Structure 1
Amino acid sequence: MFAYVVAAACAVAVVVVASLVVRRLRSTSDDNDPGGPTVAHAGSIISALFLIAFAIAIVVPWTTADAARLNTYSETQAIAEASWAAADFPAPAAQTVQAGLRDYAQFVRTTEWPLMAHGRLAGEGWSRLEEMRRGVSALAMDGDQAKDAQDAVLGHLSEISAARRQRAMDAAASPPPGLIVITVLTGLAVVVLPLLGGARPRGWALAPLTLMAGLLGVGIFLTMDISHVFAGALAVTPDAFANVLPELQRISFSG
């Protein structure tokens, strides 16, 4: 943030110096017109900066949310595949592993999901996966089919862990704080610039200015509301885990 302040101060200093130099080297005239070149130039640049910042503040969270949503389905797909592979284990190992996978999916859906709105995952989720991995690795398997099933389950558990790490990164992800600040400041500048330039709207002239200010306010609030993947208007919901639970139940019965 300090670097941003320094950059802004340097830009202001350049304007002041350039203004003094131009006044000394050539004759100039005062520009007091609200529709004059100074206000028009500043307005176009500020509007462009606002649009750029606003677009980035919308697109980045939207893209991150889509990727995070797809990742949750990848994680639950790996859970289902692990449950199918565990069906080839001898009893009672098959039922134990499948029950652990169901409990993990239920834990993520009900206990862990609210925590992700605050940018973190529950440590218990990692413990559950590590316990399942150790348990499957410790199983003594007889026959090629059982050993292949063991390798498959361990592979799917690795996929679940990888998807979980990605979910942890998505939960902690947010746009740079400076981006939201720039969006707010440029939005305010767009609204007040005509007034700072000397315009004094009256009557119906206030209507478009008021409408613009209201829409800008809604837009800026939207950028704040969608800045987190698992909270706000674009929040990723635990639908993938809710949908996989009945499938895991069917796999247990069919196995």
Structure 2
Amino acid sequence: MQLWRARRTCGQMTTSYNHALFLVLCLLCWAPAPVVGDCLPEAVPEKNRTYIQDIDGNDIPIGFLRMDWHSSVIATAIARILVEEVLGYHTTADADPALRSRYAFLALAGCQNYNDAEGPMCASGTPDLRIHIAMATWLGTNIDSWDEVQEMFSTHAPKDLGAMGWTGREHMFVKKQTLVDAYEAEGVMLDFYKGYNVSHHKVHKYFDSVFDIDSTMLKPCHFPGSTFQDTVLMASYLRWTGDRDGVLEVNDGKFIAKCDQTHWWVSPACRYNISECIPAA
């Protein structure tokens, strides 16, 4: 029964974008296991696994925190199998995934309610370090948050143990036919940022309007974990651009994005006429 449930779990993970990790996990789950419920042959039996100790000497499992994206779900599952069945430690996984990498940094530093962008509860004294490992977090655009956490929690700040073995990138994507249409009609190159200069080109006509998109299929700007609700990132945006009209002050000098019709943040270049905005996600 336990092995069947492991197989079913693998089947549910086919939506992941990281097929290599998915395949590894399924192979682990389907390997012959002499102990019911284990994935690996010669796994350390659960009754023989050990705990780690907190600062008071109490036995606790190694705590994992998964992120709210597929690669982290799979990487966390693989890591727990290896830590339990090869290294022989008890583990647990926090029920609430971290919605952003910055929130994972706070969780690893002992903060409770870590997904609350406005007020994670971080102890001023001895922290409650029940979460020890977070898999597939991203530094990249979160480097300022990482540095902030390192400074705030100098004695128990999280450590970066290195890359996961793959590279992630974020890109804007424009369909090839759209590129061809704009170039053949006006000689405008939409694969170059200057092609979008509204002082010279009205390229919005090559794209759908925001009014063409069914808003019921969109998340609102300020859903939990949204970049637009992240006061640290929005403060950085305001500092870099000076775009005071693009943000709203919520309290204590903190800012969130100012959205139009709850679903769209409108860039300065098309605020005078939202119908000329080009939707992007």
What range describes the TM-score normalised by the shorter chain of this pair?
under 0.3
Give the TM-score of the pair, scaled to structure 2: 0.24
Determine which structure has the larger strand proportion and give its number.
Answer: 2
Greater helix fraction, Structure 1 or Structure 2: 1
Question: What TM-score, normalized to structure 1?
Answer: 0.25
Larger Rg: 1
Q: Which has the higher contact order (CA 8 A, sep 6+)?
A: 1
